[in-house]
């Protein structure tokens, strides 16, 4: 009896790790042995909250103000720069919603927003201003499922957010079970960064949910720098791969973080060693507050050419831009 009641109150490990995330950048800087002046720290209140799980922090180099993982999450003064052409809806998401939680831009696939939050808040995020409040909820999921059921051209559903894996396993299982009843759906894709920041998010029940549906499962992770991959994460990826899930990765090209061919080659090789294939390198979407991460198209083309000369074709990610109104992500020249 005692054993059972203990089990009932026990939360999966990832939820307690998530709760234990850093939510104050000053604490993070202190623990890394850095002072705010070392890093152009932005003290002013930002509407985009600070949140970083500890397993991700454990891969940062202490006392390095240019650490590529730290720079992805730390609010810095250049965020206040407003540049021409940047906006709060850079890729036209709002105009392409076919129902409040469903964005359909491309043939055959639709993207469903099922969570408004993430485990980590990346400062360059293109959805940092997205109005999640009117997209996420049970009624919105019902409407999205009705829409997909009525549109026979959709064969792939992409679960996105925010981060879809922020939902608990029971909730995901319920949504996926409903999606699997739609006869014309064949693939289930999950776009997530959560396991990268908290590897224990790859639970047995999640693997069970993803591999026992009639839909073919694909996970697209989001990793920008080889230092993000450690032994614990590799083990989690191996478990996904052994369960039969196709694993891909997308990165964002970020100034001062991964905007050179050597870093991206190392990333492709580290991904491959961890059972993941590189899929996309996205040019930054021009979102307000992220101009300091921007890499020019000209430089991106030269990095891509340099990278292509160093890698086998299957480890070469596609360099793409998202242009509102186009019928696919657009390869750079
Ligand atoms: C990026 C994106 C997709 C996925 O595109 P792929 O090229 O299939 O990876 C699907 N829907 C939306 C709305 C997107 O933004
Ligand atoms: S994990 Fe993805 S959606 Fe979430 S803040 Fe980072 S870039 Fe944005």
pLDDT range class, residue 89, cuts 50, 70, 90: confident
Contacts of 302 (CB under 8 A, 6+ apart): none
Question: From the alpha carbon of 126, which atom of ligand 2 is closest?
Answer: 8
Task: Please answer whether residues 148 and 185 qualify as being in contact, where contact means their C-beta atoms are separated by less than 8 angstroms.
Answer: yes
Q: What is the pLDDT of residues 98-114, one digit of tens each?
A: 999 999 999 999 999 99
Distance 106 CA to ligand 1 centre (A): 7
Distance 103 CA to ligand 1 centre (A): 9
Task: Please answer whether residues 106 and 97 qualify as being in contact, where contact means their C-beta atoms are separated by less than 8 angstroms.
Answer: no
Task: Please answer whether residues 244 and 222 qualify as being in contact, where contact means their C-beta atoms are separated by less than 8 angstroms.
Answer: no
- pLDDT value at position 5? 47
Count Cβ atoms below 10 Å from residue 273 Cβ, excluding itself.
Answer: 12
Q: Which of 69, 86, 78 is nearest to 293 (CA)?
A: 78
Question: From the alpha carbon of 160, which atom of ligand 2 is closest?
Answer: 3
- pLDDT value at position 80? 85
- pLDDT value at position 86? 62
Angle, CA 283 vertex, CA 324 and CA 311 arms, to 5°: 130
d(CA 195, CA 210): 15
Spell out the domains of the chain, with CATH numbers in brackets: 87-331 (3.20.20.70)
By most ligand atoms within 8 Å of CB, the mutation choice from 79, 114, 127 for ligand 2 is 127
pLDDT range class, residue 330, cuts 50, 70, 90: very high
Question: 251 pLDDT exceeds 90?
Answer: yes
Question: 254 pLDDT exceeds 60?
Answer: yes
Span 249-278, average pLDDT: 98
**Closest ligand to Cα 48:** 2
Question: From the alpha carbon of 279, which atom of ligand 1 is closest?
Answer: 9
Q: What is the pTM (predicted TM-score) of this model?
A: 0.94
d(CA 52, CA 33): 17
CB of 105 shorter than 6 A to ligand 1: yes
Residue 289 token pair: 């507050």
**Closest ligand to Cα 155:** 1
Q: Which protein residue's CA is at the shortest distance from atom 3 of ligand 2?
A: 162
d(CA 316, CA 319): 9
Question: 220 pLDDT exceeds 50?
Answer: yes
- pLDDT value at position 45? 66
Distance 109 CA to ligand 1 centre (A): 7
Q: What is the pLDDT of residues 119-147, one digit of tens each?
A: 999 999 987 777 777 788 899 999 999 99
Question: From the alpha carbon of 320, which atom of ligand 1 is closest?
Answer: 7
Length of the chain in terms of residues written? 333
Question: Residue 11 has what DSSP assignment?
Answer: P
Count Cβ atoms below 10 Å from residue 55 Cβ, excluding itself.
Answer: 21
Question: From the alpha carbon of 124, which atom of ligand 2 is closest?
Answer: 7
């Amino acid at each position: 009896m005692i054993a059972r009641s203990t089990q009932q109150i026990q939360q999966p490990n990832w939820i307690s790790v998530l709760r234990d995330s850093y939510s104050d950048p000053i604490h993070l800087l202190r623990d890394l042995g850095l002072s705010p002046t070392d890093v152009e720290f932005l003290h002013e209140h930002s509407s985009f909250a600070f949140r970083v799980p500890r397993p991700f922090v454990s891969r940062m180099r202490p006392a390095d103000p240019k650490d590529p993982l730290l720079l992805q999450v730390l609010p810095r003064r250049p965020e206040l720069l407003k540049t021409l052409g940047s906006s709060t809806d850079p890729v036209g998401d709002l105009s392409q919603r076919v129902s409040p939680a469903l964005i359909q831009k491309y043939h055959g696939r639709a993207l469903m927003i099922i969570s408004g939050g993430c485990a980590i808040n990346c400062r360059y995020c293109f959805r940092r201003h997205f109005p999640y409040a009117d997209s996420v909820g049970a009624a919105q999921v019902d409407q999205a499922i009705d829409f997909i059921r009525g549109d026979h051209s959709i064969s792939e559903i992409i679960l996105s957010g925010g981060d879809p894996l922020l939902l608990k396993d029971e909730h995901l299982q319920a949504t996926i079970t409903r999606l699997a009843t739609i006869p014309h759906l064949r693939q289930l894709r999950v776009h997530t960064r959560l396991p990268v920041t908290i590897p224990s998010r790859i639970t047995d029940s999640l693997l069970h949910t993803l591999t026992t549906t009639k839909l073919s499962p694909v996970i697209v992770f989001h990793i920008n720098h080889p230092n993000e991959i450690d032994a614990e994460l590799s083990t989690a990826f191996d478990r996904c791969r052994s369960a039969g899930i196709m694993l891909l990765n997308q990165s964002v090209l970020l100034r001062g973080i991964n905007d050179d061919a050597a870093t991206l080659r190392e990333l492709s090789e580290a991904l491959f060693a961890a059972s993941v294939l590189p899929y996309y390198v996205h040019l930054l979407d021009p979102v307000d507050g992220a101009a300091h991460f921007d890499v020019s198209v000209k430089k991106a083309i030269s990095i891509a050419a340099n990278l292509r000369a160093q890698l086998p074709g299957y480890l070469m990610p596609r360099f793409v831009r998202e242009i509102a109104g186009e019928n696919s992500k657009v390869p750079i020249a």
